[in-house]
Structures are given as C-alpha cells and as structure tokens.
Chains A and B, each alone.
Chain A
Amino acid sequence: MSVLVFIECADGKVKKSSFEAACYGQQVAASLGTEIVAIAIGEVATEELKSLGKYGAAKVLVDEEPRLKDYVSQAYTKVVAAAAEKENASVIILSNTNIGSGIGARLAARLQACYAANVVALPEISGDTLKVKKSVFSGKAFAEENLSASTKIIAIKKNSIEVKETGSGEAAIETFTTALTDADLNGVPQETVRATGDVLLTEADIVVSGGRGMRGPENWHLIEDLAKALGAATACSKPVADVGWRPHHEHVGQTGITISPNLYIAVGISGAIQHLAGVNSSKVIVVINKDPEAPFFKAADYGIVGDIFEVVPKLIEEAKALAK
C-alpha cells in the first residue's frame, strides 16, 4: 500500500501546487502508516525531483517518453494508472488544476475509484475511510464526503495546505516506462502560445484585479504596476473581459477562473455574487472602491473607500519602497 502523488511540471520545474500535493500526501501517508511515491511525466530537472524528498517522497518515478512532453489526457492517465498499480496505491493525490483534475476524472473511471475534487483540507481518517471537505457551489459552501472504495483519488485546491519541509533527504529517482499506442496520443498539442505576464494567475500567491471602475484599458497600467511591485498576477472582472479591455483568460469569477491566492486586491470591482464566487476562498481580500455601499466590502478584510486614481498610485509607491 502507498500514497501516490502526481507531480505537475512546467519548463522542467515542479509546480508549487505539486509541492502542496506532496505535503498533503506526506501527511495522509503518515496517518495511514505508509509511504509516498511521486510520479512525474516529461522532462524535469533531476535536482527538482530529488528535492521532493524534503516533502516526504521516498521515491520519484519518472516517465521521460518524448511524446509525453506535452499533456495528453489519455496517455498521462495510462502512465499514472500503471504507476498506481506498480506501487499498490490506495490513495492518489493530484492538484485541482486543468491537468490534475483531467487525469483524476479519467483515473476514477478507469480504476473504479472514489474521487473528490476541490478538496480544501486534510482528511479525517477512520479505518479505510477518508472523510474529505471540498469546496462546492463556486466557493459558496463546503461538502463533506466519505471516500471508502479501495482506491481513493483526491484533487486538492491550491493554497489549501502549507508547503513545509518535513525531512532533508533526497528522493530516489527511478525511470518508469509505459507502453503507449497511437490512440493514447490522439490530441498531442502542436503549438503552445504563452500569455504575456510575469506571474501565472492560477499559481499566484497575490492577485491584483481591476473592474469597470478602472474606466478603460488605458488605465490598466495602475493594475500592472501595483502587481509588479507586489510580485502579483493580474486579473479582471467579467464585464471588463466582456467589453474586451482585458483577455478572457484573466477573468476571475463564477464563469471564469476560480482562484484562491493568499491575497486578492480588487480595484474598482463592486463585488457581484458571481465575482465573489470565484475569489472568496482567497485568504485575505482587499477592496478599493469609491462607493462605500459596494457589496464587496462585506466580504473584505481590508478596504479603502476612495478614488482609485489617487489611492492606487500611493499603494504602488509604498509597495516599491517596501521592495527596496
């Protein structure tokens, strides 16, 4: 029996969300009295993978098949399923990302497993049953679920667990191969287009977001400058994406991207319930709006009622001073 953690990589590096998954796996494994094994696919720096030992992984299986350089759901699922079988995994941990949950769903059907997505806390364990808490109704509520099948799959929501080193050892690296057919590889990406911006929205710890109160795209430099000073990603509300001031992949909210950063700064966003649904699991919410009646203030931890064109430059100045 083991706990298997799927490690997502980008540009040869392990993603932060996968370190979270490893920490989650380590704590589940400790409670179950077993060990964690990680599986990584594609080309990743060996040092990065060895460092997973600090988070409890005794061993990392690596499948470096060149055709798996980019994510293909069928093929990746096949590899993770084979790893789960080899390691006799009773629990499989993934990140609740596009890739992680894409694999999680397929694995659940393939392995006849219990699958819980969007999980926000460590499970309560009694015997063979894991009780998990997951975010539902677009962050407006939580559901508690008992997972009791012999294989349990858990996809954890970003920022739900603290990343901390629990050991100093290096993980052993073991090459892993899985036979793939052409059918498994139907859907290999031919071209990748990277969006501009220094910090990925979905991976960001801090997000600075603008709404209609910004008045127009020509004022967006205020959002970008504040984000840059804080090392943050930028985002926007739905109306802003709908009128084309910003691209759709920056739209956070119920029908856009759901995020859970440590800090969410909303500038000129009134806070419609649909917007809130996409951001309300942020640890700290700051709202800057000239309208004291804006509903967003009810969900905020800190707020400034004032003219954003006066307030935001002061914040940029202060954040820059702090960075020095």
Chain B
Amino acid sequence: MKILVCISNVPDTTTKISFTPDNKELNTAGVQFVINPYDEYALTRAIELKESQGGTVTVLNVGLADTEANIRKALAIGADDAIRVNAKPTDAFFVAQQIAQYAKEGGYDLILMGKESVDYNGFQVHGMVAELLGWPAIVPAIKLDVTGTTATLEREIEGGKEIMQVNLPLVASAQQPMSEPRIPNMRGIMTARTKPLNVVEPISSDVKTKTEAYTLPEKKSGVKLIDPANAGELITLLRNEAKVI
C-alpha cells in the first residue's frame, strides 16, 4: 500500500499571534514552527498501517527550505521518504493543486492529512485534492483501517459518528482519536538523515484568494467578578445584563 501524507508547517500552538507593521503577513520573529498537530495524527496512523500491512509512507510538504526541519522530523517518526514542493503555500487551492499533481503521478492508494491546519483553519485542502483527483474524501475521520482494497472508516458527524466502507483510492483527513502521535527516538533521528528528501518545483497555478489584511480581535473590557457567596447572582446577570439565557 502506497500512502501519501501531507504535512503543513504551522506556528506552535502556544504562539501569541502578531503581524508585520503593514498587517499583511504573520510576524514570524521568535515563532517556533511545528508539524500541524492534525497532520501528526494522519502521519502516525499511516506509519501504523505500513507497520501492520507493509507498503510505503511518503511525506509531502509545500513550503520553502525552512520547513525541512519538520519534514526530517516526519522521517524520524517513520516515513520512508519525503517531497518538498519548493513554493510558498499561497492559498489552499494552490497547495491542493500541487498535491493532486504529485499524487496523479505517484499511484497512491491513500492520501492522508489533518482535517485543517491550525493557522488558516480552512478545512479545505483535502476536499480540493479529492475533487481534483475524482476520489472520495472522508472528513473528518476518527478511525481508519484498510483490508485489501477497502478502507473502513469512522467519520465524525455533529452529535455522533458514521461508519463506512470505501473502495481505495481515497482521501481522508484525520482528527483525534485516530492515533496517538509518536515522539521520534534516537534511532529514528539518525536514520532520518539518510532518507531521501526530494525537492521539486511547483506547477503553475492560479491564486484564487489573497489576504488583504490581518486584524486581531478587540480586547475584552475586563472580567466582572461575582462574590462566590452570592453565586446565583451570575445567573441573573447572564439573563438581564448579558441577555444570553
């Protein structure tokens, strides 16, 4: 089984977000970038499937050279090889086109990625890739098993889950509890250095969307504290002042 796992390079989840003075770009000074947490669930599940059934796991990232540290981390966790599409990921459609182009040539059975990136929260690259390839997309998937050419998945729905069997190939996006992410061990880190990381140039693509400006939410005016001895007063305030109950 050939699995392609797409990873995104995102600010660490504890990052306080700020922007450049013209408000057009994220201020990356002092920001540590990590593998998108949802993509780590996808990566770990792909490696588990490879370990139990054989096959290969290829990691793909659309990004400039500064993402290679995280690509190496994915190799250290257990991916076999990696592709970096040498381009700044300008928008979701651009990224989806790069992935679809590569997947078309690669003969993959399964494309996995996180349900969304924690930076742009688009929840859309998987759907676009699936549409470009004409494949089904199961999103967000909380469980994934493969037997032969059939995948059994659980998909989260509002207020429950659905269970389905889907013929490969397919795209699935990961959400907890699909897997428990692994920390690379020393042996993994050593072998990752010798695994292939191929850099390819992007295909040309329209840019569909461009962010004109970023803004931060307005600061809260401050908390109104209620005496715990009169805790019931809170309910009155929520009803009469905030008008939310």
> Which chain A residues have a beta carbon within 8 Å of chain B's beta carbons?
10, 70-74, 77, 96-99, 101-110, 112-118, 131, 133, 135-147, 149, 183, 186-195, 197, 200-203, 205-206, 230, 241, 248-249, 251, 254-256, 258, 262-263, 272-274, 277, 280-281, 283-284, 286-287, 297-307, 310-311, 314-315, 317-319, 322
Contacts and interface: CB of A to CB of B under 8 A. Distances in A.
Contacts of B183: none
Interface in B185-229: 206, 208-217, 220, 223-228
B91 to A, nearest CB: 9
Pick from A96, A203, A249, A280 the residue with the most CB of B within 10 Å. A249
Contact of B208 (A140, A149, A283): A149
B87 interface: no
Contact of B13 (A115, A187, A255, A284): A255
A306 B234 CA distance: 13
A248 B177 contact: yes
Interface stretch (B44-52, B56-64, B102-110, B113-121): B113-121
B244 A263 contact: yes
A286 B161 CA distance: 30
B158 A203 contact: yes
B193 to A, nearest CB: 29
Nearest to B125: A105
Interface stretch (B68-76, B78-86, B133-141): B133-141
Interface in B131-164: 131-132, 134, 136-140, 142, 155-164
A304 B212 CA distance: 40
Contact of A141 (B122, B128, B136, B214): B214
B158 A97 contact: yes
Given A136-B121, A192-B162, A284-B238, A145 B209 contact: yes
19 contacts: A70-B162, A105-B128, A137-B119, A142-B214, A145-B211, A191-B163, A193-B160, A200-B158, A203-B158, A249-B142, A254-B118, A272-B14, A277-B13, A284-B238, A286-B234, A300-B220, A304-B227, A314-B232, A315-B234
A323 B121 CA distance: 38
Contacts of B225: 302-305
Contacts of B142: 248-249
B228 A305 contact: yes
A68 to B, nearest CB: 14
A201 to B, nearest CB: 8
Contact of B136 (A74, A311, A319): A74
A160 to B, nearest CB: 13
A242 to B, nearest CB: 9
A197 B158 CA distance: 12
A295 B235 CA distance: 23
B177 A115 contact: no
Nearest to A185: B136
A200 B157 CA distance: 10
Given A108-B93, A263-B244, A315-B234, A144 B136 contact: no
Given A256-B176, A303-B223, A263 B245 contact: yes
Contacts of A273: 13-14, 16
Given A187-B136, A286-B234, A304-B228, A251 B176 contact: yes
A145 B227 CA distance: 44
Given A255-B118, A263-B244, A273-B14, A117 B123 contact: yes
B65 interface: no
A141 B17 contact: yes
A129 to B, nearest CB: 11
Given A144-B211, A200-B158, A301-B223, A311 B231 contact: yes
A117 B122 CA distance: 6
Contacts of A255: 13, 37-38, 118, 176
A104 B124 contact: yes
A147 B245 contact: no
Nearest to A157: B121
A98 B209 contact: no
Contact of A254 (B13, B157, B163): B13
A135 B159 contact: no
B208 A108 contact: yes
B124 A189 contact: no
A97 B157 CA distance: 9
Contacts of B220: 298-301
B167 interface: yes
Contacts of B156: 98, 249
Given A304-B231, A311-B228, A104 B160 contact: no
Nearest to A116: B209
A301 B242 contact: yes
B130 interface: yes
B63 to A, nearest CB: 18
Nearest to B213: A144
B127 to A, nearest CB: 3
B245 A98 contact: no
A86 B211 CA distance: 31
Contacts of B216: 140-142
B245 A230 contact: yes
Contacts of B134: 183
A262 B244 contact: yes
